Amino acid sequence: MAKKQSIKLTEAMREVHENIPSTVRRVKHFGAGGKEAMLRAIAFSKARKAGAKLPLRHTIKRKARG
């Protein structure tokens, strides 16, 4: 990751962890790991909107049964 993207991501992480969004605070059925994953996703999204060129999350494609 380039230095510019790293700085933008660090700033976004700091912002999200200092001011936890109400969406994360309201969730009760996720554990600590689930809430941390939500915070990371929000921070990555904010960094991308700020112009950081970060890779998108890769999802696993499942084969259709049948």
Q: How far is the first Cα of the chain from the last one, in angstroms, to the nearest whole number?
A: 41
The CB density around residue 12, as the number of other CB atoms within 10 Å, is: 22
Q: What tens digit of pLDDT does each residue of 26-39 get?
A: 887 777 778 888 89
Asked whether 62 and 13 are in contact (CB, 8 A), the reply is no
Q: What tens digit of pLDDT does each residue of 1-56 get?
A: 578 888 988 999 999 989 988 888 888 777 777 888 889 889 998 999 998 888 77
Q: What pLDDT is recorded for position 61?
A: 62
Asked whether 9 and 47 are in contact (CB, 8 A), the reply is yes
C-alpha 2: how far from chain center:
18
Q: What is the Cα–Cα distance from 5 to 33, expressed in whole angstroms?
A: 24
User: Considering the entire predicted model, what is its pTM?
Assistant: 0.72
Q: Domain residues of the chain, as ranges?
A: 3-49
